Amino acid sequence: MKFRPFFIAFLATITLFAQEHIHKSSRALEFPNVPGYITLKTDLHQHTVFSDGNVWPTIRVGEALRDNLDVISLTEHLEYQPHKADIPHPDRNRSYEIALKEAKDHDLMIIHGSEITRQAPMGHSNAIFIEDANKILHNEAKDAFGEAKKQGAFVFWNHPAWYAQSPTGNPILSEFQKERIKNGELHGIEVINVGDYAEESLALALENNLTIMGTSDIHGLIDWDYVGKGIDRPVTLVFAKERTPESLQEALFAGRTVAVFNSLFVGKKEHLVPLLQASLVIEKANYIDKTSILEVTLTNVTSSDLLLENQMEYTFYSSSPVFTIPAGETKTLNIKTLEKKDSVTLTLKALSAYVAPKEQAVIDWEIKVE
């Protein structure tokens, strides 16, 4: 009997290991940290049966763990409750509470949030880092935003280009939104929602100093709506000082984000360029014997394919100037430097990475030749 405590502890350890193993997936999202910051993978716009979604909150936790996310928020519609006849819940905090309990034994942050749901021109906005969703449920939209601000919420404008509220497919910055920005009640904007990237939303983000966001806005299953279609969910990469809710909140207010959807990256230049620099690792650089052709081997350490174009004064040998390095894979470039050099600046344009509408990121890597 003296071995019983040891056996119980051993069994508990094996059980926890098995649970974590179940959540691991080949679809796991991976992105590197950048100098001075930890890269947090977030999806801050999701729904469950507690508004107009089709799953229980625990499913959202499991999906996030499989996708290797760091943070999620279940942002149920405050005003739109189509399942209330079957799932009556006068407490608008219930979805958050269930998810928080489900995630307690896992390394996943659950951020308290809700979606303020109004017709145009107010539109839909997510308030996250809230204290009590019930208090944000007001008859007047401006009062809802005011209460969110009172609770210290970070608020971002959802799918501003959604054709149901903007028939042209272009976002309309109304006087209502302008007033919210002026009052410090609107801080971010989705430039990627589901599969839609809106250049016009990116323009609004840059013009109004709004934090750039990308979200899945998932209502069904991630497996059905994304993975089954051979694509990843959109996410917001947040560059935080620490892996804590407080640091995440500070980073969002400071605008340190990049929105990602498969191979598409969208962000302000000061955040996107360091991310891309960290995403390609120089494995080796040496000259082919008796030639002035420099072999440079690069590894893509992200879960996104990287589409790149040569921007150097030097051309490539036996390689197209436009090329792809698939997620997690390695590629060797043969660079014709014409004469042997001790170091070379590798300059590439990321063709699917945007720092402004129609403006792609250009990145440099300083290479020391072996």
DSSP 8-state symbol, 227: G
Characterize the bridge pairing of strands 257-261 and 306-310: unpaired
Identify which of 219, 145, 147, 214 has the alpha carbon closest to the alpha carbon of residue 178. Answer: 145
From 179, 61, 81, select the one nearest 133 (Cα to Cα): 81
Q: Are 189 and 157 in contact (CB under 8 A)?
A: yes
Predicted confidence (pLDDT) per residue in 12-33, tens digit: 444 444 444 445 556 799 999 9
The sign of the dihedral angle between the CA atoms of 235, 239, 242, 244 is: negative
Checking if the pLDDT of 5 tops 80, the result is: no
The per-residue pLDDT for 25 is: 57
Q: Dihedrals φ, ψ of 65, to 5°?
A: -65, -40
pLDDT tens for each residue of 57-100: 999 999 999 999 999 999 999 999 999 999 998 999 999 999 99
Say how many Å lie between the first and final Cα of the chain, rounded: 63
Q: Give the chain's domains with CATH numbers.
A: 26-262 (3.20.20.140), 275-368 (2.60.40)
The predicted model scores a pTM of 0.92
pLDDT digits (tens, 9 = 90+) for 39-52: 999 999 999 999 99
Q: What is the pLDDT of residues 169-200, one digit of tens each?
A: 999 999 999 999 999 999 999 999 999 999 99
Whether residue 10 is predicted with pLDDT greater than 90 in this model: the reply is no
In the prediction, which pLDDT does 251 show? 98
Give residue 238's pLDDT band: very low, low, confident or very high (50, 70, 90). very high
Gap between the Cα atoms of 207 and 190, Å rounded: 14
**Per-residue pLDDT at 26:** 61
pLDDT at 296 over 80: yes
